[in-house]
Amino acid sequence: MPSNDFIDYEKIFLHAPIGMCVSQNRIIQSCNEALCSIFGCPANDLIGQSFLVLYPSAGEFERTGERIVPIMNAMGHYSDERIMKRANSELFWCRVTGRGLQQYNPHAAGIWTFVDMSTKRALSVEFTPREREISALLVEGKTSKLIARQLNLSPRTVEMYRSKLMRKLNAANSSELVQKLLDVHS
């Protein structure tokens, strides 16, 4: 590329093929077209809003915010798959990845990406907020003991939720439960 060519980073950000946003204190400061498409609303409805508008519940927003802080402080970034909410209230699986821009203060400023996974992983059963959180952690391969520690619950409580999920999804065992949660279509 000749040295006099200009790289328009703003244009790259706006037209990136995955949802992206920049945040300060969990408030969306800027977002791209793909993010608007994923969540089904124009940028003006997202900019200046708390990430809360993208979550199924206020509790999930709060607990996720608390859960990511030690991980981002240790690693500088965070990634998971979780259930999010579109503007029309439809729930869907989404891969969320972020990086804090201020060391040891991950919510101060960050850049986040969002990938809609609904075409690969359908959400066919209604889950409670806690079931959604536990489902996301089960999909990551975490044990009940690790999930309990991460969510500040007892392992027995996590096992109770795992049993409820198995009944809801008609899964015979934990492996089948995870497979049904993944619901990956070829």
pLDDT tens for each residue of 92-131: 989 999 999 998 899 999 999 999 998 877 666 788 888 8
Domains of the chain, CATH where assigned: 18-123 (3.30.450.20), 124-186 (1.10.10.10)
Q: Which two tokens stand for residue 136?
A: 């996301």
Is pLDDT of 85 > 90?
A: yes
Q: What is the pTM of this model?
A: 0.73
pLDDT tens for each residue of 12-40: 999 999 999 999 999 999 999 999 999 99
pLDDT tens for each residue of 126-146: 888 888 889 888 888 888 898
Q: Which two tokens stand for residue 46?
A: 């997202």
pLDDT score of 149: 87
* Of 31, 45, 44, 49, the residue nearest 114 (C-alpha): 31
List C-alpha distances in Å: 93 to 10, 118, 153, 185: 28, 6, 23, 14
pLDDT score of 3: 59
pLDDT score of 21: 98
